[in-house]
Amino acid sequence: MDMKEQKTGPDQKRGLKGEMKREMSTAQAIALGFAAAVLIGSLLLCLPVSSADGTWTNYLDALFTATTSVCVTGLVVVDTYAHWSVFGQGVILLLIQCGGLGIVTFTTALMVLIGRKVTLKDRLLLSASFNLDTLQGLVRFLVRVLKGTLIVEGIGALCCLPVFVPEYGLQGIWISIFHAVSAFCNAGMDIIGADSLMGYVGNPWMNLVTMLLIVLGGIGFIVWWDVLRVIREIRDGNIARRFWYRQLRLHTKIVLTVTLSLVLGGALVVFLLEYGNPETLGPLPFPTKLLASVFQSVSFRTAGFATISQKGLTGGTVIVGILLMIIGGSPIGTAGGIKTTTVAIVLFTALATIKGDADVKVFRRTIPTKTLRKAISVTLVFGAVLLTMIVLMSVLEQGSLTDIAYETASALGTVGLSRSYTATMNAAGKIVILLCMFLGRIGPISMAIALHMKGHSKVDVKYPEEDVTVG
């Protein structure tokens, strides 16, 4: 080793330690940003102007509502349509939009709008919030995300007008806007009534619009751009139509394949298990059974809207629903859960082990080892937190274990579906669910950042290998 290499060693170590500290502060900044939004929202919601009857709202209920809004969960302890005034509903909608896009994205967008320069620190935070590996083109990416969000939510609101305006008059305009934003952000909150969308179970248009908004928000923004890129290539004649799927990036292929499989598979399970259930699909005509099954499958994966009774679901459907809640949506989108790509990578890793393959191959591509470790770690941590919270809730709260597990998974997966259990919880239970919602929103992000630190905080020492018997 020459003298130059010896001199640069300590500097490199200091640089790597500085990088680690910077990434840690980034993760903390994101968590603190969400916490600040929750705190401000709770203070606004407890004010008399935020309630429909002009009285102060219990702070724990206001805090719970602010948390479920920012974390785009949808579990509520007071009726959104009845308890809150238009001002209060506006605060909730702003918190949903802020939480759906991400606190860093939202604040950076405000800086761009007022003409403030986006600093390197801002770019680092933005990169971390989107879980991207580059700082190039971040502001341009942000602008595209904002434009895409406003366009999709705007079109969604316009599509809701023919349903809500004839029924609610001018108030239907506000309901349409609220519903479109809530659906796209996968929040699952509505200002229609106490029964969510059960009154529209047989309305194909309302179901289709809502499901489309949920899926578009849940698949992630980078999937949008990749699909649009391929469409432009086909339009320009650079790609043959029959080869369009091959031109998509690996991430997009996995997201679209897993999303479609989960939606159809979940719908089939709901249809079969609930077909004759008098409390859910039983009384409905055959076409409506199919529609309600698909909607329930889509909603299970972090949306939170319901067209059939959740309390009436059979035990088998509840178990499948919890699994779908855990999986959630896709990265860099508005949904929660451990994400479709994470589950896909874990499953492909297991298949590769069974087949005796040295590498994990997906769509003729090899998945890097660091990605495999990240996927497995995120899955195990999420599972451990979920199990811990279920046990804690079972100690603090009364009720069946089925209801508790469903509620806890719904909170940690930021879903928002409930078996009529949320409003029955005591203060301790509300705090646990509140914590689950917060962890569910920032957990995967913080975990991804922590696992992306490249492991250079200390010297990488190689030890001798020794096999361990497993299985």
Tens-place pLDDT, residues 106-140: 666 655 655 556 666 656 656 655 555 555 666 77
Q: In this predicted structure, what is the pLDDT of residue 302? A: 84
Q: In this predicted structure, what is the pLDDT of residue 5? A: 40
288 in any annotated domain: yes
Q: In this predicted structure, what is the pLDDT of residue 1? A: 42
Quickly state the pLDDT bin for 317 (edges 50, 70, 90).
Answer: very high
In 265-279, which positions are buried (b, 16+ CB within 10 angstroms) versus exposed (e)? ebbebbbebbeebee
324 in any annotated domain: yes
64 in any annotated domain: yes
382 in any annotated domain: yes
Report whether pLDDT(425) > 60: yes
Of residues 49 and 121, the one with the higher pLDDT is 49
Contacts for 31 with CB less than 8 Å, ≥ 6 apart: 442, 446
170 in any annotated domain: yes
Q: Could you tell me the residue range of the domain that residue 210 belongs to?
A: 16-451
Count of the separate structural domains present in the chain: 1
Range from 43-47, 254-258, 270-274, 449-453 carrying the lowest mean pLDDT: 449-453
Tens-place pLDDT, residues 230-255: 888 888 877 877 778 888 999 999 99
pTM of the model: 0.86
Range from 13-17, 71-75, 132-136 carrying the lowest mean pLDDT: 13-17
Tens-place pLDDT, residues 318-343: 999 999 999 998 888 888 889 999 99
Tens-place pLDDT, residues 283-306: 999 999 999 999 999 999 888 899
Report whether pLDDT(453) > 90: no
Average pLDDT, the chain: 84
Average the pLDDT over 63-75 and give the result: 92
Quickly state the pLDDT bin for 154 (edges 50, 70, 90).
Answer: very high
Tokens found for residue 31: 């968590």
7 in any annotated domain: no
Report whether pLDDT(12) > 90: no
Report whether pLDDT(443) > 90: no
* Distance between CA atoms of residues 214 and 232, nearest Å: 24
462 in any annotated domain: no
Tens-place pLDDT, residues 390-413: 999 999 998 899 999 999 999 999
Q: In this predicted structure, what is the pLDDT of residue 132? A: 59
Average the pLDDT over 179-198 and give the result: 91
Report whether pLDDT(42) > 90: yes
Q: In this predicted structure, what is the pLDDT of residue 13? A: 45
- In three-state form (DSSP H/G/I as H, E/B as E, the rest C), the secondary structure along the chain is CCHHHHHHHHHHHHHHHHHHHHHHHHHHHHHHHHHHHHHHHHHHHCCHHHECCCCCCCHHHHHHHHHHHHCCCCCCCCCHHHHECHHHHHHHHHHHHHHHHCHHHHHHHHHHHCCCCCCHHHHHHHHHHCCCCCCCCHHHHHHHHHHHHHHHHHHHHHHHHHHHHHHHCCHHHHHHHHHHHHHHCCCCCCCCCCCCCHHHCCCHHHHHHHHHHHHHHHHCHHHHHHHHHHHHHHHCCCCCHHHHHHHCCHHHHHHHHHHHHHHHHHHHHHHHHHCCCCCCCCCCCHHHHHHHHHHHHHHHCCCCCCCCCCCCCCHHHHHHHHHHHHHCCCCCCCCCCCCHHHHHHHHHHHHHHHHCCCCCEECCEECCHHHHHHHHHHHHHHHHHHHHHHHHHHHHCCCCHHHHHHHHHHHHCCCCCCCCCHHHCCHHHHHHHHHHHHHHHHHHHHHHHHHCCCCCCCCCCCCCCCCCCCC
Q: In this predicted structure, what is the pLDDT of residue 103? A: 60
445 in any annotated domain: yes
Instruction: Name the percent of the chain lying above pLDDT 90.
Output: 53
Q: In this predicted structure, what is the pLDDT of residue 371? A: 87
Tens-place pLDDT, residues 337-386: 899 999 999 999 999 988 888 888 888 888 998 889 889 988 998 999 99
